Amino acid sequence: MKNYFSLFVFICVVAVHLFVPVSSLFAQQRDTAKANRLDSVMVTAFKKQGPADLKRFSPGTNIISYSEEAVKKMQSATLADFIKANNAAYIKEYGRGMNAFLSIRGTSSSHTTIDWNGQNMSLPTMGQADLSHIPLYFFDEMDIHIGGGSALYGDGSIGGTVKLKTGAKWRGGHSGNIALSAGSYGSLFTGATYRYSGKIFESRSSVLFNKSRNNYTFENNTKPGRPVERLNNAAISNWGVIQEFYVKAGLLGTFNTSVMYLDFDREIQPSVSLNDRPETHNSIYDNNLKISALLEGSTANLSWRVASSFANDLERYKEDTISANRVMASADLEYKISVFALRGGLSGEYIKPFVKSYIADREESRAGGYLMAKLDGAGLLSASVGARYIYSSSGTLPIMPIVNARLRIPAGGGHSIYIRGSWSGSAKIPSLNDRYWGGNHIYLKSEKSRSLETGINWGWYEGVWSASAFVTAYRSVVNDWIRWLPAGEVWRPRNIPEVLSRGVEAGGEANYSANQIVVSLKGSYAFTDIRTVTPLWAEDPAKGEQLAYQPKNSWRATASSEYSGFTLHISLNYTGKRSTLDIYDILPSYTLTDGGISYKGKLKNNEYVAGLVFKNIFNVSYQNVKFYAMPGFNWLINFQYRF
């Protein structure tokens, strides 16, 4: 009943938001200038970017871009929180602030690349990134490239790629912000950024601190009567710092160096059955160091990018320490003439792990290159083709191709219509843990996929109104999918011969803006059908069944209204039912309702934003992962001062 009541409340709020705009609709005049600009700004996936942005070579896929302003609104959140609030992709969580792993199109978290300015954010040992460990406060903008893209971004991009961005502002003088958030369960976030920009030099320094006791109450469904208990051993504490320098180096372009350090001290949330057994409780400590140097520049026809980076990732659990060093280097060159662009690049990578459970003296080297070509034909047809090859000292990978096309359908009346399609081949080398944890699993093959997708994007602008929508249908076959399976008293990684993922993604947005009133409605939906086609054993009961922890249906919907500095928003977040590791054990679906209000004002010519956010307003009791409690109703107060 709470789910239906949430939907009723959402519809009522939408109706209230629309009342004022509808009453003044016929008093507005059509802004023909804005309508004429539609083709270049309506579809975010097709906006022109800088010379180093590879997404321009994938016009046939859907790329969702989030602006600096969108990221600022949730700067005290983690990357996991942001994606949950803005996208229908599924995130598997083991509790509030605990491990959070992204699944795009049903693939595993190791099939999604998390990239910061060309540096891979995943742990080289695990081959995946914990999104609860990535603070949004450090980043300016973001792209989510949905679908296979190994030809563009390297091995691992079977499901998709998240591109995190930072960069120089070149605004001149001093600027920055101070952020403070406090809320339920002893939650506290503080952050500060200082930026200085001169004619040829810019510096950016940011620091953050975050903690929470996470002692929320929950229904214990493992005990008779489902008693309400308070969660134990789930506190988190982390801090981080980032320092960036930018120097204009004349004809060479812009030189940038970055250093990021993140430190996490986290108790491991117990399952609900062990909540009152302190002898089983533990904690884990992580730190991550990322250092990079980058030179990029361009002339009328030529652009280049040369980058290098070093990363050290360490995790300590009890007396065991897992760490690894990774060194990466790359060089990219692009030539453009008229409607044609050609881009190529070379890259190298060296990984040295320090793990007692591995065979001694393990290390890995990789090298590869790619070549991409793109044609833009008179604004109607855009097409690209390319391929990447990677050599690895620990395994073989096939050539990873990609073919894209996008056709603009001429339409009048402020409409913009694009039909697009893409075919790609992607691959992933087994992670170090897959190959060496508890043995020498040299029998493992690299994971390989072939993906086909097609879709349509529509946009419309009429005076004070605008709208956009997209629909994508896809089919992806993954061969040699790696899963850890029981082998007697231990678990071993095995290659599943064939897994099929297919589905539909859709999203839309409608906006009204006039007379200091801005109303926005947004929504996204994902239907994901992913199942084992060819199992290891013919009698495997999982054959033909949906993979564990993969909801077939998920959607998000948000309504917001702005007037005279005030913003009111409410959102619904639905996650469909999904099976656990036991395919006959089904976790129920749930719908969460969030809302909030904020005010943007001026203080001595500087901007500030104050807000109040309510989460899980109807106190829904749910579990994202079986036996791991999630919070009920909670709140958060935000304040940010920008100078």
pLDDT digits (tens, 9 = 90+) for 74-123: 989 999 999 999 999 999 999 999 999 999 999 999 999 999 998 999 99
Is the pLDDT at 42 greater than 50? The verdict is no
> Which pLDDT score is estimated for 604?
87
- The pLDDT assigned to 22 comes to 36
Q: How far is CA 323 from CA 317, 432, 489, 497, in A?
A: 11, 11, 26, 31
Q: Residue 493 and residue 30: Cα distance in Å, rounded?
A: 61
pLDDT in tens, 45-83: 333 333 447 888 999 998 999 999 999 999 899 999 999
pLDDT at site 46? 31
pLDDT band at 156 (very low <50, low <70, confident <90, very high): confident
* % of the chain exceeding 70 in pLDDT: 92
Q: Give the residue carrying structure tokens 């506190």.
A: 235
Q: Residue 285: pLDDT band by 50, 70, 90 thresholds?
A: very high
- 16 φ, ψ (degrees, to nearest 5): -65, -45
Q: Confirm if 149 and 126 have CB atoms less than 8 A apart.
A: no
Residue 30: predicted pLDDT: 35
pLDDT value at position 4? Answer: 42
The predicted pLDDT at position 412 comes to 87
- Which structure tokens are listed for 316? 């300590």
Q: What pLDDT shows up at residue 149?
A: 86
d(CA 235, CA 615): 19
What average pLDDT does the segment 518-544 reach?
Answer: 95
Q: Provide the pLDDT confidence category of residue 438 given band limits of 50, 70 and 90.
A: confident
- Of 131, 139, 136, 160, nearest in space to 148 by CA: 160
Q: 363, 287, 279, 369: which is closest to 322 by C-alpha? A: 287
Q: Per-residue pLDDT for 36 more than 80?
A: no
Q: Which helix (H) or strand (E) holds 636?
A: strand 634-642
Q: Looking at residue 28, what is its pLDDT?
A: 39
Q: Which residues contact 373 (CB under 8 A, 6 or more apart)?
A: 340, 341, 342, 343, 384, 385, 386
Beta strands in 463-552, from DSSP E residues, in sequence order: 465-487, 490-514, 517-534
pLDDT at residue 98, as a whole number: 97
CA separation for the pair 601, 486 (Å, rounded): 58
Task: Give the E-state strand segments of 274-380 in sequence order.
Answer: 283-298, 302-317, 320-337, 340-355, 364-377
Return d(Cα 354, Cα 312) in angstroms, integer: 11
**In this model, does residue 337 exceed pLDDT 60?**
yes
Residues with Cβ within 8 Å of residue 366, at least 6 apart in sequence: 347, 348, 349, 350, 351, 390, 391, 392, 393, 429
pLDDT band at 377 (very low <50, low <70, confident <90, very high): confident
> What is the model's pLDDT at position 35?
32
Indicate the SS3 state at residue 475: strand
Rg (C-alpha) for the chain, rounded Å, is 25
Taking the whole predicted model, whether its pTM rises above 0.95 is answered as no
Q: How many residues does the chain have?
A: 643
In tens, the pLDDT along 172-186 reads 999 999 999 999 999
Q: What is the pLDDT of residue 259?
A: 98
Average pLDDT, the chain: 90
pLDDT at residue 597 greater than cutoff 70: yes
- Percent of the chain's residues with pLDDT above 90: 82
CATH architecture observed for domain 2-642: Beta Barrel (2.40)
Is it the case that residue 422 has pLDDT exceeding 80? yes
Beta-ladder partners of 374? 341, 384
